[in-house]
Every structure is written in structure tokens, then in C-alpha cells.
Amino acid sequence: MKKTDVLIVGAGPAGSVCGYLLKKAGMDCIVIDHATFPRDKICGGGLTSKCFHLLERLMPDFTYDFNPVSHIRIDVDGKAHCEFDIKEPIRIVQRKVFDHQLLQHFIQAGGNFCKGALMSFEQQDNMVIATLKSGEQIACKWLVGADGSNSRVRRCLNPDDSGIKILPLEQYVDKKPGNAIEVAISSSYDVGGYFYRFPNDANDVVGFGDYSTTFEKFRNILRERSIPEERFRGAYIYLSNDYPLKDNVILIGDAGGFANRTTCEGLYDAFLTARNASTAIIENRSFREVNAHVFQKMKKQMRVNRILFSKPAILILRWMCRYPALIRWLLDTKMQRESWIK
């Protein structure tokens, strides 16, 4: 049986960053993933200023490919439009490339990456015994689930796994002239729903998601916008922290339901919870304590989400579209206020 201080399940952004921070601190850790990297991961791939500044602090020597986008176009109910440039560009990455670059950075730092898929785990004294689908077993002091919204680690903790989920459907399309992010909100969408178009350096990703997404609804939205239907895909985003918490079993990123409740932005909180998990492990503290502010933030965002996507709020947004400078100021202020230190 292999033994390690930390076993991280999932080599996406949260798992690779957590592993890198632990390795830099001298902890013995293994990262496993069932996928062969680089693997395709369709996603808007937007790194907001708060997100890439956090990443710069966590991995100062990490370089990656991105498309900087400053121009934003907003459509509300098809009746109000505005566009403007934000202060700091959003960095749009191809997730297939970006995730692979993060994993390689962990490996180059001396990290141990193995291909494997978790089947189950059990507690034995002060250790966690993880059993892989191959039959191999790994004994660890801490098990970190960073294996996405369909997390096997979370399902082992909570077999019912009946938290809140949203289903974005996305597809690649040819690049549109103008290098702009497009967002459309409508009172006809369910709570939390919006259409988006994100341009990376190879193509555009178009997508839609709300709490009652269906394939037919997505097809109708594509037809309304004269976008040819291609091979679209979807993956649930888990938006709940309703699962048992254990001191030596930690969930981070999408596996722990740490995506923004309003925008479904996941990379910022993936990096933030990866940092908090590594801090809890290195300092031998409870993740519940170190990550307390993030749990509180998620609850607050859920309340705000219900207000922002209400019909009165959408009417207010339609009015605000007359004043693009006001919307730009609100976005820039929000990005500056949300510090990585919190």
C-alpha cells in the first residue's frame, strides 16, 4: 500500500494549485486523475482580475496562454443594450491548455501525478485508506476532493448528494469579430440564467444555463441568435455546501460547491479554496475554520442571486443600460473590493 501525507483526487485547477502549494511547503502529496492530460474541458474560461491576481500570488512563476478581453456587451430582454471597456481585462483561457499548464507546473515543482480513479475510502485510526478502481490502495493523512461537480469524494461523504445544481450547456463556435464578452439576461429565463459568449485565442465558447436548463431551451436560444447548432455539451455545477465536513477529508473547488452563486465563476474560488486547504493541512488546522469566510460568502451569494435575477432587478438593469459608465464602475469596484486576502 502506498503512503503519503496528502492524496488529492482531481488534477484540475483546484487540485493542481493545492498540490503545488503543499509541495512547496515540503509536504508529501500525490495527485491522481482518471483523465489523460491535456484533456478537453469546454468552459468560458474567464479569469477576472481578482482571480488572476490571486493566482499570481499563489504561483508567482507560473506563465500561461490567454486572450485579454476588455470589451463587454450586455443585452437585457432584447430591448436594452450597452457596451463598455472595463479597467482590467478579463483573461480568457482555453481550459484544455490552461489546466494542462497548471498540472505541468505542479509536476515541474517535483509533484507526484498518477493516473487513477477513486472508488471509495474509509477511515482507519488517524488515516484515510483510499481504494482506486484499479484495486490499488493509498493510505494518507488527508484526502482532498478536487474532482469537479460530480465529485466521487463528495458522494462517498454524502451518498444522497441532493444539493442545488445548475446545468450550463456550451459549444465551440467560430470566432466573432470584435474580441468582446457578450452576456444576455432575460426575464424569460429561470433564476440565475444568462446566455454568454467568451472568446479565447482559438475560438468562442457560447453557453447558457439556469435552474431548469433543457436541451430544447438551449437550441431555441441558439436559433434566436442565429448560431448554428454544433456538438454541445453540459456539466452540472454543484451550488451547495450541504455535506458532512471532516477534518481529514476536504472538498475544494467545484467538488465542494465553491462556484459563484450569481455568475457561476469557478476558477477564483477553486484557487481560494485550494489555498485554504493547503493552509489547513500545513498548519494542522480545521478546514472548516480556515475556509469559514468562503462558506459564509456562498450563503450570502445565494440570497443575492434571488434578488439580482428577480423581474424588478432586471427592469432596473434595463434602465441602467442607458448609463454604461455606471455599470462599468460597479464591475470595476466589485473586482477591486474582493481581495484574495479575505
* DSSP result, 147-171: S-TT-HHHHHH-SS----EE--EEE
Span 247-280, pLDDT tens digits: 899 999 999 999 988 888 899 999 999 999 999 9
Beta pairing partners, 7: 30, 143
* 322-to-82, 152, 325 alpha-carbon distances in Å: 7, 47, 9
pTM attached to this predicted model: 0.93
Q: What is the per-residue pLDDT across 198-255, written as a single tens digit (0 to 9) for each?
A: 999 999 999 998 888 889 999 999 999 999 998 899 888 888 898 888 889 999 999 9
C-alpha cell at 122: 474509509
Give tens-digit pLDDT for 140-188. Answer: 999 999 999 999 999 999 888 777 888 899 999 999 998 999 999 988 8
